[in-house]
Amino acid sequence: MKLEDRRRFLLEMAGSAAAVSALRAEAFAAPAGQSTTQGNAAPNSGAAKHWDKPLIKFAVIGINHAHIYGQCNAVIRGGGELVAVFAKEPDLLANFQKYFPWVKVAKTEDEILQDPAIKLVLTSGIPNERAPLGIRVMRAGKDFMSDKPGMTTLEQLAEVRKVQAETKRIYSILYSERHEVPAAIKAGELVKAGAIGRVLQTINLAPHRINPKSRPEWFFQKERYGGILTDIGSHQAEQFLYYTGSTEFTIVASQVGNLNYPQYPGLEDFGDLMVRGNGGTGYIRVDWFTPDGLPTWGDGRLTILGTDGYIELRKYVDIAGRPGGNHLFLVDKKAVQYMDCKDVEMPYGKNLVQDVLNRTETSMPQAHVFLTMQLVLEAEAKAQKIGKA
């Protein structure tokens, strides 16, 4: 893939929820009792901060998706210090160093895995390479955080579950469309407070912009990205399980297809599924059909239906005209309310750092991490094929 195409790919993907903070300046709130010092900001990349007294040291192996910037920033916000990176691609590594100029470049993966000071390893490597890496990380005695999807087959999931149970290490997956979207955090707070009664259903629509010329080769190879429900759909499946409180599920129906890109036979550009859980039902639609006229990468929408009202999120854009993203609408028995959620704290990174330190599960229960991937992997495996492209 040409250098300019890689960079265009990173810039396009940087519009996603987990990576948006990597390309703009933002002030990170310090954990209680800690001060910050300003790091040198890379040109056009925003300002990252690091701690005078970090709580943990972490490293990165694999940076094939720009979500890695949001992953790192989440841990940095939580008190982590990024100390090392290993990547095979010189151009991707160069971009990463511009944003994190203090980071040490490791010569090999083992240099990171054998460093006892490093407690947590992050990756946004090619999707089908993430689970094998996570297994190596856990067996090296370190905790692991992957970009989604955290694995691409049910066989990988079974092996990861086995090794995680044996090692007792953390295998986290940053489902950024909830963990790194302030409006989604606020919705969870409202649901927990009983604002809409008992949750009955979630409806999650997640269009994305494709820009095929900017994509790397693996993007079009299903065995490498895992299919559209496995990849994008893991965000929405996680939200369904979280907001309904479901710990069990049944796939009612699922379908995937290539509807518009016959030149890329390995691509799935559309997928949807219906799921029934022990806490509610859900409908999920994911696609690569964001039109060029939309001013952002996708119009992500979530509706949470309850017995006493509903919540609707417009996560990234309000096509009715309000600026920015993180728009929440609450309709209950008394009124219609609008909430601008852009300043809501995102606690995932802070909680994950504390989990590493205290061996707890405050950022996300381990069973929930795996159940999310089981849901989409089963849905992908059972999906009917549609389309003629």
**Residue 255 within any structural domain of the chain:** yes
pLDDT tens digit sequence for 333-357: 999 999 999 999 999 999 999 999 9
What value does the mean pLDDT take over residues 144-154?
98
* Region 358-387 average pLDDT: 98
pTM: 0.88
- Higher-confidence residue of 15 and 167: namely 167
Q: What are phi and psi of 352, to 5 degrees?
A: -65, -40
**Cα 54 off chain centre by:** 24
Q: What is the pLDDT of residue 50?
A: 66
Each residue of 214-238: pLDDT tens digit?
999 999 999 999 999 999 999 999 9
Count CB-CB contacts under 10 A for residue 177. Answer: 26
Regarding whether 211 and 74 lie in a shared domain, the answer is no
Phi then psi for 174, rounded to 5 degrees?
A: -80, 95
Q: Per residue in 259-276, pLDDT tens? A: 999 999 999 999 999 999
The CATH number of residue 11's host domain is 3.40.50.720
Residue 156: is its pLDDT beyond 80?
Answer: yes
Same domain, 58 and 82: yes
Domain boundary among 126, 154, 174: 174
Q: What pLDDT score was predicted for residue 388? A: 77
Domain termination residue (choose one: 139, 174, 209): 174
Q: Which domain holds residue 27?
A: 3-174
pLDDT greater than 70 at residue 296: yes
**What value does the mean pLDDT take over residues 46-74?**
87
* Total number of domains constituting the chain: 2
The whole-angstrom separation of Cα 91 and Cα 9 is 12
SS (H, E, C) the chain: CCHHHHHHHHHHHCCCCCCHHHHCCCCCCCCCCCCEEECCCCCCCCCCEEECCCCEEEEEECCCCCHHHHHHHHHHHCCEEEEEEECCCHHHHHHHHHHCCCCEECCCHHHHHCCCCEEEEEECCCHHHHHHHHHHHHHCCCEEEEECCCCCCHHHHHHHHHHHHHHCCCEEEECHHHHCCHHHHHHHHHHHCCCCCCEEEEEEEEECCCCHHHCCHHHHCHHHHCCHHHHCHHHHHHHHHHHHCCCCEEEEEEEEECCCCCCCCCCCCEEEEEEEECCCEEEEEEECCCCCCCCCCCCCEEEEEECCEEEEEECCCCCCCCCCCCEEEEECCCCEEEEECCCCCCCHHHHHHHHHHHCCCCCCCHHHHHHHHHHHHHHHHHCEEECCC
What is the average pLDDT across 96-107?
96
Provide the pLDDT for residue 309. Answer: 98
Domain boundary at 108, 139, 174, which? 174
Mean pLDDT of 89-93: 96
First-to-last C-alpha distance (Å) of the chain:
25
Q: Is the pLDDT of residue 377 over 70?
A: yes
Do both 8 and 49 map to the same domain? yes
Report pLDDT for 104.
97
Does residue 45 surpass a pLDDT of 80?
no
Q: What is the average pLDDT score of the chain?
A: 89
Which pLDDT score is estimated for 269? 98
Q: Considering the chain, what percentage of its residues have pLDDT values greater than 90?
A: 86
Residue 31: the pLDDT is 29
**pLDDT > 70 in the chain, percent:** 87
Phi, psi at residue 214, to the nearest 5°?
A: -90, -5
In a domain, 81, yes or no: yes
CATH for 305: 3.30.360.10
58 and 99: one domain?
yes
